[in-house]
Amino acid sequence: MQGIIKSEQKNVDANGRQTKLFLHLKKWLEKAVLDYGMIVEGDRVLVGVSGGIDSLALLDLLNTPMLYVPPFSIAAVHIDLGFDKEFKAYNDLNAYLKDNGCDYRIEKTDIGPLSHSDYNKKNPCFLCSRLRRKRIFEIADEMGCNKIAFAHHRDDIVETLLINMFYAREISTMVPDQSIFGGKLHIIRPLSYVGEDLVKKYGKERRFPAIENLCPTSKVSRRMYIKNLLKELEKDNKDIRDNIFRAMGHVKTDYLPKKTGAAS
């Protein structure tokens, strides 16, 4: 298994040059950070590491020298949901994060089985996400972190918009910089401008030891339905995801229906 090697050696090709893909992702990561003021000097950022390629890519990119982003420190956290009874993923990820060189915490829980038990059959994803985030917030406080970075990328933002429109009857999505607890903590998403395809490609380039998602709901979730729907739409319009993402920045409220009578 390949661990994260030192910053001056990683993300280089056979000739010792930084790869085009790495430079491209760093450019858009830094642009998102600067556009939304995600990181200021002295911040301590806790990176949520699920073990998938997306989160490993985010940790890897944040752990390299920045050109324009002010100095900050990072730590990492992984919440083991309890599906992996043999703890193989736990052991692999523990070794990987140890090679990373930053502070990290791995915590074993039973959040996954609890969320899928008879106690909560109707909406396992909601409870799982809520309990996992609650623990991450607590760990951020324990580790002295004022920012939490999640690896949600452009496609996640687009998919969340459609999920909320289709199932929650509202127009909303993830935001790149979200203030919580009265500004005491911020959730940031530095990959907001990056498409999923490039993140996965980067994962292959870096040969991340990605952990298999053992959640029984992952293949049949609403998000997976939306993801497959977008893939079908892309057959006729390859720009569909980019168009939806850009549309969120061009909302014409004058052309949206507004109630003029008493609220119903």
pLDDT tens, per residue, the chain with 264 residues: 223 333 344 676 654 568 999 999 999 999 999 999 999 999 999 999 988 899 999 999 999 999 999 999 999 999 888 777 666 666 778 888 888 778 999 888 877 777 777 766 667 777 888 888 999 999 999 999 999 999 999 999 999 999 999 999 999 999 999 999 999 999 999 999 999 999 999 999 998 887 777 777 767 788 999 999 999 999 999 999 999 999 999 999 999 998 886 554
pLDDT value at position 5? Answer: 33
Q: Quick check: helix, strand or coil at residue 176?
A: coil
CB-count burial class (<10 Å; 0-12, 13-18, 19+) for 219: exposed
Assess contact for 184 and 168: CB atoms under 8 A. Answer: no
pLDDT value at position 4? Answer: 35
Q: What are phi and psi of 176, to 5 degrees?
A: -60, -35
Q: Sign of the CA dihedral 21, 23, 25, 28?
A: negative
Query: What whole-number distance in Å separates Cα of residue 96 and Cα of residue 3?
Result: 5
Closest CA relative to residue 199, chosen from 3, 68, 55: 55
Token pair recorded at residue 134: 């609650």
pLDDT value at position 2? Answer: 29
Tell the residue number behind the tokens 């998000």, with chain if given: 223
Query: What whole-number distance in Å separates Cα of residue 211 and Cα of residue 127?
Result: 22
Domain architecture of the chain: domains with CATH: 20-249 (3.40.50.620)
pLDDT value at position 126? Answer: 79
Query: What whole-number distance in Å separates Cα of residue 21 and Cα of residue 199?
Result: 9
| Separation in Å, CA 35 to CA 25, 30, 149, 193 | 15, 8, 16, 11
User: What residue type is assigned to position 53 of the chain?
Assistant: I
